Amino acid sequence: MKTYSVIELGNMDSITRVTLKEKLDLTGAEISANRLPAGAEIPFAHSHKRNEEIYIFTSGKGQFLLDGTKLPVKEGTAVRVSPSCVRSIRADNSSGLSYFCIQVDAIAIFYTLNYAGKGISRKAAAEIDKELRKKWGR
């Protein structure tokens, strides 16, 4: 059995959206390669219940709307977004915007880092995480 997977995405300027979970047989993350043409935007704002996202912008410039705050982004910008944050992205009128989005289960990461191998179930760890998020206002 192979211990790695490979896919050629081709010219990033020709991509609209390519999801890599099935193409790379990912087991713990979802990754997408994305390109918005100049002036285009994601047509909806969204949040998640459990999934944290990391966005890595690889070319162009635009705005990242995060809980009502417009954050300017450009090539080289990386942003972590917690599950509850409402988000959307818009490319500047003068350039397209390319980026990768990496989505992972925040509770699974929390569990692995803090409780795996210590006799605490994932369900119990999720409850602890929920209480800590309330306490910290997240």
What are the boundaries of each domain within the chain? 12-105
**Model pLDDT, residue 111:** 56
Q: What is the pLDDT of residue 96?
A: 93
Q: Among residues 51, 52, 34, 54, which one has the least CA distance to residue 98?
A: 34
Instruction: Flag whether pLDDT at 32 surpasses 90.
Output: yes
pLDDT surpassing 90 at residue 10: no
Residue 57 scores a pLDDT above 70: yes
Which among 103, 113, 78, 127 has a CA at the least distance from the CA of 28? 103
Q: Is the pLDDT of residue 73 over 90?
A: yes
Q: Regarding predicted confidence, which is higher, 137 or 7?
A: 7
Phi, psi of 107 (to 5 degrees): -70, -40
Q: Report the predicted TM-score, pTM, of the whole model to 2 decimal places.
A: 0.76
**CATH second-level architecture of 12-105?**
Sandwich (2.60)
pLDDT band at 128 (very low <50, low <70, confident <90, very high): confident
What is the tens place of the pLDDT at every residue in 96-124?
A: 999 999 998 776 655 555 666 677 776 77
Q: What is the pLDDT of residue 11?
A: 85
The predicted structure's pLDDT at residue 36: 96
